[in-house]
Amino acid sequence: SMFPTTTMSTTQPVARPSLDVLIVGAGFGGVYMLHHLRKLGLTVNIFEAASDLGGVWRNNCYPGARVDSEIPEYDLSLEEIWRDWNWTEKFPGYEELRRYFNHIDQKLEIRKDVSFNKRVVAARFDTDVDRWEITALDGTVVNPRFLVLCTGFAAKPYTPHLKGIDLFQGISYHTAEWPENGLDLKGKRVGVIGTGASGVQVIQEIAKDVEQLTVFQRTPNYAVAMQQKKLDNFKEQEKMKTLYPAIFERRRETIAGYSYSELPSKKLFDATPAERLLHFEEQWSLGGFRFSLRNYADVVVNQAANDEVYEFWKTKVRERLHDPDMQEKLAPSIPPHPFGAKRPSLEQHYYEVYNRPNVELIDLRQCSIVEATPEGILTADGVEHKLDVIIFATGFDTLMGGITQIDIHGLGGKSLKDKWADGVATNLGLTSADFPNMFFIYGPQAPTAFSNGPTCIEIQGDWVVNCIKYIMDNNFTYINAREEAEQQWRKKVLFLGSLTLFNKAETSWYFGSNIPGKIVEPYMFMGGVQKYDQIITEVASQGYMGFDLC
């Protein structure tokens, strides 16, 4: 680490090099930003709360954690990185993703500019010197000109309060706070609360090892086939690389940031039933998000079209389940929400888990949790489920949470958390008015999780790099979003969010309704990646229209 901590006893004062940019977070976003900002000749440092690189792949090390974007879609586009790197699986797991970060470090010397175990807790813009004052949990203070938050969309885990949990004598963990050295679950009685992407992955991974698995499901996941593949033929992968530049270019020009995410030209009911069936089957067998992203465009706006997709999905799932009761719980006759309104997980053998004799599924809509007891979990039917381990796969205070958990104060001492208390306000999902020279990527009001991660990060990251270069080249002190521009952007985000069926799910992190008390509104830009790229590029080319530069 290049910065001394205040708790360190040094006999001599250590000179603090002047810092141009502080980046928060060393995941995909932070690493990409560090590399490009250093290339501008700036002094840049990353503060990372965890002990190593990787972002979500550092924190989420629960059994089965793996990405839901396939490679090379999930690669960073930098040739220095992909040239000598080959993956062993189409959808890599967290361990391989961590090795990928080691590889990036070998190629780009990332770690030398990262301070680990540095959780940023506060940031204050100091108008006397026009610099940010950033404070870490250990007392470290730095004063960069620019602050770039690369905290990701899932930096703040959410654990619902479960009455009696303090009395529970077993152990309990949130999936995103999994112990780095792992947990031995062999022969244990394990309960999993939540069946989002994290729940599905942990459930399908541990079911075979544990003595007894009890799944507490509130809403069934409309999980689709991942179609995982081992990639042991590196020659083939090497050959594919001639296409990488085209794939990386193409992925920016699509709706969801995957080079393949173009839609059929017809509406669903304009295709014959046979045509539809073939299309569904084809996308299903190709795997990944194709079944949801390459479906007919009207599926996200027309309930009847959406129901057709649900029916196909339901049949696919039910034929894998032996027990009619399981069929009804996991793929109900009446869909609890439209297909796609909650993010479908990519599963490998999730449904087969429920044919196992050691797995029980509690449908919380039929029978809710009353409380935790010293020995397990008590449900409303009076049954005490005896457990050694409780796993909370209960998600995150997404998008806004990772940013507002830092105490940020801008011009006039204004707090960002207070400013966003009645709803998020950003200009372009990149900045917020009165927080000068502060940027965030892969956060609220941007495509974020409606995009393949690296695509969104690179589009936004390039914009921020160019903006900082523009400020330096033109000797401006700072850039500040205008409030009118921000209000317009907010309106656009809310409007686009109201057009689809996606707001029909009762609890969805897309809308913040998964967190009690959180403002319910669309938290992401739903106009598509290409459109987003066009808009922000246009703003920059007009000399940063909607911003004050002083």
Kindly state the smallest distance separating residue 147's Cβ from ligand N01, in Å. Answer: 25
Point out which residues pair with 431 in neighbouring strands. 427
Binds ligand N01 (CB under 6 A): choice among 37, 53, 67, 192: 67
92-121 positions binding ligand N01, by CB under 6 A:
none
Does 71 interact with ligand N01 (rule: CB under 6 A)? Answer: no
Contact stretch for ligand N01 (CB under 6 A) within 292-300, 390-398, 411-419, 525-533: 390-398
Which residues neighbour 182 within 8 Å (Cβ) at sequence distance 6 or greater? 61, 63
Does 45 interact with ligand N01 (rule: CB under 6 A)? Answer: no
Kindly state the smallest distance separating residue 503's Cβ from ligand N01, in Å. Answer: 14
Element (H, E) at 382: none
Paired sense of beta strands 212-217 and 189-193, if any: parallel
Contact stretch for ligand N01 (CB under 6 A) within 41-49, 94-102, 192-200, 422-430: 192-200
Residue 313 or 547 having the CB closest to ligand N01: 313
Of 439, 408, 400, 409, which Cα lies nearest the Cα of 121? 408
Binds ligand N01 (CB under 6 A): choice among 25, 72, 92, 194: 194
Please count the other Cβ atoms lying within 10 Å of the Cβ belonging to residue 41.
Answer: 10
Does 196 interact with ligand N01 (rule: CB under 6 A)? Answer: yes
Binds ligand N01 (CB under 6 A): choice among 394, 404, 426, 437: 394
Kindly state the smallest distance separating residue 38's Cβ from ligand N01, in Å. Answer: 29
295-334 positions binding ligand N01, by CB under 6 A:
none
Contact stretch for ligand N01 (CB under 6 A) within 195-203, 259-267, 298-306, 472-480: 195-203
Please count the other Cβ atoms lying within 10 Å of the Cβ belonging to residue 9.
Answer: 5
Residue 359 or 485 having the CB closest to ligand N01: 359
Residue 165 or 231 having the CB closest to ligand N01: 165
Residue nearest to ligand N01 (CB): 196
Binds ligand N01 (CB under 6 A): choice among 507, 540, 548, 549: 507
Of 84, 63, 82, 64, which Cα lies nearest the Cα of 72? 82
Kindly state the smallest distance separating residue 404's Cβ from ligand N01, in Å. Answer: 18
DSSP 218-266: SS----EE----B---HHHHHHHGGGHHHHHHHHTTSSSS-TT-PPPSS
Does 509 interact with ligand N01 (rule: CB under 6 A)? Answer: yes
Contact between residue 198 and residue 67 where contact means Cβ atoms under 8 Å apart: no
Contact between residue 419 and residue 486 where contact means Cβ atoms under 8 Å apart: no
- Residue 517, CA atoms < 13 Å, CB-side half-sphere: 5
Kindly state the smallest distance separating residue 232's Cβ from ligand N01, in Å. Answer: 22
Does 468 interact with ligand N01 (rule: CB under 6 A)? Answer: no
Instruction: Name the CA radius of gyration of the chain, rounded.
Output: 24
Contact between residue 191 and residue 376 where contact means Cβ atoms under 8 Å apart: yes
Residue 54 or 410 having the CB closest to ligand N01: 54
Tell me which DSSP letter residue 171 carries. E
Point out which residues pair with 171 in neighbouring strands. 389
Q: What is the 3-state secondary structure (H, E, C) of 36-57?
A: HHHHCCCCEEEECCCCCCCCHH
Element (H, E) at 299: none
Kindly state the smallest distance separating residue 197's Cβ from ligand N01, in Å. Answer: 4
Binds ligand N01 (CB under 6 A): choice among 160, 170, 264, 423: 160
Contact between residue 269 and residue 305 where contact means Cβ atoms under 8 Å apart: yes
Contact between residue 482 and residue 283 where contact means Cβ atoms under 8 Å apart: no
Contact stretch for ligand N01 (CB under 6 A) within 45-53, 205-213, 416-424, 506-514: 506-514
Does 401 interact with ligand N01 (rule: CB under 6 A)? Answer: no
Binds ligand N01 (CB under 6 A): choice among 20, 48, 68, 486: 68
Does 198 interact with ligand N01 (rule: CB under 6 A)? Answer: yes
Kindly state the smallest distance separating residue 370's Cβ from ligand N01, in Å. Answer: 12
Residue 219 or 228 having the CB closest to ligand N01: 219
Binds ligand N01 (CB under 6 A): choice among 343, 385, 419, 490: 343
270-289 positions binding ligand N01, by CB under 6 A:
none
DSSP helix/strand/coil, 273: helix
Does 156 interact with ligand N01 (rule: CB under 6 A)? Answer: no
DSSP 93-160: BHHHHHHHHHHHHHHH--GGGEE-S--EEEEEEETTTTEEEEEETTS-EE--SEEEE---S--SB---
Binds ligand N01 (CB under 6 A): choice among 364, 472, 520, 540: 364
Rounded CA-CA distance 372/193 in Å is 12
Rounded CA-CA distance 92/229 in Å is 10
Binds ligand N01 (CB under 6 A): choice among 30, 199, 335, 436: 199
Phi, psi of 512 (to 5 degrees): 80, 0
Residue 364 or 494 having the CB closest to ligand N01: 364
Residue 154 or 353 having the CB closest to ligand N01: 154
CA angle 123, 128, 133 (to 5 degrees): 20
Binds ligand N01 (CB under 6 A): choice among 46, 114, 185, 193: 193
Kindly state the smallest distance separating residue 450's Cβ from ligand N01, in Å. Answer: 10
430-459 positions binding ligand N01, by CB under 6 A:
449
207-246 positions binding ligand N01, by CB under 6 A:
218-219
Binding site for ligand N01 (CB under 6 A): 67-68, 154, 160, 193-199, 201, 218-219, 343, 346, 364, 393-396, 449, 507, 509, 514
